[in-house]
A and B are shown apart, each in its own frame.
Chain A
């Protein structure tokens, strides 16, 4: 009898956590909706933020949950972008089909490169991931006839979404489209990280050795996680191709990979929210600081990174808890 009491007591502790999360989720979605009305002249910029959040969420799955540091995440994003862009130019301009194409392309490239990358670890993996993105960059650059090379892929002209909502000059449709896709991706990730698959990813992060000793094939699990991340980054890439109706080589570039990493570290890894806050903070600072001083904005970002690394290693998402601790609000 007494065992049963303890049992139910310990198990019930899951519940408050969930509802607090749902509340924060709702606040975030509301903010995303409100932003449309508050900043009607920045829809293009805000859409870029939404798309980038998808990319950084995907990186969080790999780095934050599974603990695999990669500096080649643009390979997955860019592949999704080019696949969706070329699909629109050469096959069908249906946006939703294009999203699927981008997701599949991102997942396939992640799976194939993951077969090599996930054999490595640490610095080797970091260098190899850069190499994969660089190879894709060169391939796309040299296949000018198909991809537009360094001029970028032009001539994308998307059909209306579901045949109803046409992409408009002000980017209204694009914003809602990106917001809805982001919300769906976020919900998917929220479910996945709470699933057995997510638990395994966290286990791998903590100890490869221990995971092997409980019978997990760590390598194949990592390939699986990377493939899912590839699909998600591919969706981000596809969105960017469709919303801007342009794909440039930068979508495969090292800069994009590195910035995604910085955004995630700023916001905090392994908690999904970090990807959202880190991206919003980075891109907003970039946007405003760069318009004030186009040459020195990087110092602002650099300062923020140093602040995070030294004072809140868990990222800005960890700031409230840390402040609370300092003020003696929590034990």
Chain B
């Protein structure tokens, strides 16, 4: 049985447009892969196919050898697949602390109770403090998320997703909108992730990609153009023409 995530021959059409073309891809425990490609290449769509937000037209997605393509998104999360949103999607009117509390309660199966206050679990609150500390968010714990700067909201987005303790983590442009003075917090957080966690990071910031990824997958027009080490990818003429050229429009 092969461990980790294994995607084979994945296809997705939106109407007549093919946004995923026969994608085969794998992510082993402990992998740090980056997915790059021009705007509209289908990176977010690919992430959504893996998390179950979108259903593929054909192809299979296996997690530790088990086909999860029929599982609903919420079931896949329970199985250990989680992602951050490219466009921050948080519980805006809740406090930062509540934003982290909710996924932890859900993860631990503690989110069903009608009685007893939601904040009564000491271990959960300690875990929240630890996560918030890691993202320099402790001082903002009681603030409604909507009052935070966008860069900080990005950090909450990441902390919230890590709170799920996933085995497969997809980060969709985690540094987009984060001031460059804060992007080290994101890099630190990625570098501190558990070693056996599989990470796929979608990112336009090449500095960040080269820092954290050991392999890079290039997606163009819904299809994988090539995969390789950062050195191989940076030498690849096709990638330079196709992607690095288009990047300046971004």
Contact = CB atoms under 8 A, between A and B. Distances in A.
Interface of A: 3, 6-7, 10-11, 13-14, 191-192, 194-200, 202-203, 206-207, 209-210, 212-218, 228
Interface in B165-187: none
Interface string B66-103: 00000011110110001101000111111001100111
Contacts of A217: 72, 74
Interface in B111-168: 111-119, 125, 129, 133, 138-139, 141-142, 160-161, 164
A195 B102 contact: no
A11 B141 CA distance: 9
A213 B129 contact: no
A213 B141 CA distance: 22
B107 interface: yes
A195 B98 contact: no
A218 B138 contact: no
Contacts of B111: 196-197, 199-200, 216
Contact of B73 (A14, A202, A203, A212): A212
Given A195-B117, A198-B118, A214-B77, A10 B142 contact: yes
Contact of B94 (A3, A11, A202): A202
Contacts of A215: 74-75, 77-78, 103, 106-107, 164
Contact of A213 (B85, B94, B113, B139): B85
A7 B130 CA distance: 10
B73 A210 contact: no
B51 interface: yes
A54 B169 CA distance: 45
Contact of A197 (B53, B97, B113, B160): B113
Q: How large is the interface on B (under 10, 10 to 19, 20 to 34, 35 or more residues)?
A: 35 or more
Contacts of B114: 191-192, 195, 197, 228
B247 interface: no
A6 B136 CA distance: 12
B9 interface: no
A197 B113 CA distance: 6
Interface in B194-224: none
Contacts of B160: 214
A200 B73 contact: no
A216 B105 CA distance: 10
Contacts of A3: 129, 133, 138
A198 B117 CA distance: 9
Contacts of A209: 53, 85, 89
A141 B73 CA distance: 43
B138 A195 contact: no
Given A209-B89, A213-B89, A199 B118 contact: yes
Contacts of A192: 114-115
Contacts of A10: 97, 138, 141-142
B240 interface: no
Contacts of A213: 51, 53, 73, 77, 82-83, 85, 89, 161
B110 interface: yes
Contacts, number: 106
Among B83, B101, B106, B160, which residue has the most Cβ atoms of chain A within 10 A?
B106
Contacts of B106: 200, 214-216
B191 to A, nearest CB: 21
19 contacts: A6-B129, A10-B138, A10-B141, A195-B116, A196-B105, A197-B112, A197-B113, A197-B114, A199-B111, A202-B91, A203-B94, A206-B93, A209-B85, A210-B85, A212-B74, A213-B73, A214-B106, A215-B77, A215-B106
Nearest to A215: B77
B140 to A, nearest CB: 9
Given A10-B138, A197-B111, A207 B105 contact: no
Contacts of A195: 113-118
Contacts of A210: 85, 89-91
A203 B95 CA distance: 11
A44 to B, nearest CB: 34
A194 B133 CA distance: 25
A21 B104 CA distance: 27
Nearest to A6: B138
Nearest to B91: A206
B38 to A, nearest CB: 25
A202 B98 CA distance: 10
Given A196-B118, A207-B91, 13 more contacts: A3-B129, A191-B115, A195-B117, A195-B118, A196-B110, A199-B101, A199-B102, A206-B92, A210-B89, A212-B73, A213-B82, A215-B78, A215-B103
- Select the residue from B91, B103, B105, B115 with max chain A CB neighbours within 10 A: B91
A158 B98 CA distance: 47
Which 5 residue pairs across A and B have the least CB separation, nearest first?
A: A215-B77, A214-B103, A206-B91, A199-B118, A196-B111
Interface string B24-55: 00000000000000000000000000010100
A214 B133 CA distance: 21
Contacts of A199: 98, 101-102, 105, 111, 118
Contacts of B115: 191-192, 195
